[in-house]
Amino acid sequence: MNLRPISGASVDADGRRGRRARRGSRGLPVLISGALLLAVTACGGGGSGSGTDKDKDADSAQSKQSQAVVTIAPEDGAQSVDTTGALKVSATKGTLTQVVVKDAKGTEIPGKLTGGTSWTPSTHLAASTRYTVHAVAKDSAGRQAAEDSSFTTLTPKNTFVGTFTPEDGSTVGVGMPFSLRFTRGITHPEAVEKAIKITTEPAVEVAGHWFGNDRLDFRPEHYWKSGTKVTVRLNLDGVEGRPGVYGKQSKTVSFTIGRNQVSVVDAAGHTMKVMRDGKVVKTIPVTTGKPGYDTWNGKMVISEKLTVTRMNGETVGYGGEYDIKDVPHAMRLTTSGTFIHGNYWGGGAFGNYNASHGCVGLRDVRGGYDPGVPAAWFFDHSMIGDVVEVKNSHDRTVAPDNGLNGWNMSWADWKK
């Protein structure tokens, strides 16, 4: 390659460059380096080409990101979370499209979506339980944002349970309510009642009624229909029944309504008509409470059956008046001590006059060994939950909470 002399370089007569030319040759790399620098600069996009593509990629990525923001309370990993009121999922700049809350067993917790931007559980949470939350929201462009979280609920220091009747799997009479007695007085009755769900087949409306702060009974408006299957779900685990006191039951109870038997006692006529499906199947002579000890009027449900029991007047305020150690065929009608039972000491009272201290007596033999006597027949043909209605007595109507006797309250009052 021929190079033209650099301006100012000397040349010898023989055509060779002089010293200045040789120094100029040492400057040649500088020119090449400068050319390369120009080339590198051009390749590096000293203009606007490559840098603009990167900006466009960044803008494109940003345009694909959802503007919706999902917030889950309590925060991820939270411990000792309250079982009520603490869990909430919300969305801003978007709409919630999915919220899934599950316990450690994978059971999904139902919830309520409000305005598309807020979700809360429809029920309380169980105590000492880890929950996971998965929530998805969409922005106005349909782009999704998702959040996942987990937390653990509190472990209560104080708890309560409900003892109940009838027992799971039992068959009972048409007057049997589902009755719960709580081990602690309840000051948040609505929370407790909400945690108890009753379903029936065939379907019938069932309502609860509180007697004081430690007893809750459920019944339909009228006696149960024979054959009805009743299922009670006690979802009390985690319910705050009173400040700092939580339920610890999670149980399902089922029972079936047996044949329809209602027996009507006429205290003035000294008889009892045993009816099945409204038809009299047997009339039995009886004796009820004598003057001053009259039997309660009203509808009473058999809550207990005892082949033989001791009856002592001391236990019901009639100190020293009687103490019978072997009363046969006894069935409880009230908590206060009213029974319908066999009587072997009544003489000619049955069907003729009232001689008891408030109970309904049927003729029997001592030891209750004779299956042919009226008391034995009635005992053998009765079950827990059957109804005994007493009429024409001189006493007032039995209190609804004295035994399982809420049928003596109107449906309107029951539901108040």
Q: Where are any strands of DSSP class E within 212-322? A: 215-219, 229-235, 240-242, 245-247, 250-257, 261-266, 271-276, 279-285, 298-301, 304-312
**pLDDT value at residue 313:** 75
Mean pLDDT of 354-373: 96
Confidence of residue 36 (pLDDT cuts 50, 70, 90): very low
Confidence of residue 42 (pLDDT cuts 50, 70, 90): very low
**pLDDT value at residue 312:** 84
Q: Look at 360 and 39; give whichever has higher pLDDT.
A: 360
Task: Measure the CA–CA gap between 87 and 124, rounded to whole angstroms.
Answer: 9
pLDDT at 181 over 70: yes
pLDDT at 358 over 90: yes
CATH architecture of the region 159-257: Sandwich (2.60)
Q: In which residue are the tokens 């339980």 written?
A: 129
The CA-based angle 284-285-287, given to 5 degrees, is 130
**pLDDT value at residue 355:** 96
**pLDDT value at residue 282:** 98
Task: Measure the CA–CA gap between 162 and 152, rounded to whole angstroms.
Answer: 25
Mean pLDDT of 36-62: 45
**pLDDT value at residue 44:** 37
Q: In which residue are the tokens 């960044």 written?
A: 58
For the chain, what are the domain ranges? 8-37, 69-153, 159-257, 261-414
pLDDT at 33 over 90: no
Can 69-153 and 261-414 be said to share one CATH topology? Answer: no
pLDDT at 11 over 50: no
**pLDDT value at residue 63:** 61
Confidence of residue 60 (pLDDT cuts 50, 70, 90): low
Q: Classify 111 as helix, strand or coil.
A: strand
pLDDT at 404 over 70: yes
List residues with catalytic annotation. 341, 359
CATH topology of domain 261-414: L,D-transpeptidase catalytic domain-like (2.40.440)
**pLDDT value at residue 62:** 53
CATH architecture of the region 69-153: Sandwich (2.60)
**pLDDT value at residue 4:** 39
**pLDDT value at residue 56:** 54
**pLDDT value at residue 341:** 98
Weakest mean pLDDT among 50-54, 149-153, 285-289, 303-307: 50-54
Task: Measure the CA–CA gap between 104 and 4, rounded to whole angstroms.
Answer: 88
Mean pLDDT of 287-310: 97
**pLDDT value at residue 318:** 75
Confidence of residue 28 (pLDDT cuts 50, 70, 90): very low
Mean pLDDT of 80-104: 97
**pLDDT value at residue 303:** 98
Mean pLDDT of 158-181: 98
pLDDT at 27 over 50: no
**pLDDT value at residue 88:** 98
Quickly list H helices, 297-391. Answer: 374-380
Q: In which residue are the tokens 């009473």 written?
A: 300
Task: Measure the CA–CA gap between 340 and 205, rounded to whole angstroms.
Answer: 31
Q: What is the mean pLDDT of the chain?
A: 88
**pLDDT value at residue 108:** 97
Weakest mean pLDDT among 52-56, 96-100, 194-198, 333-337: 52-56
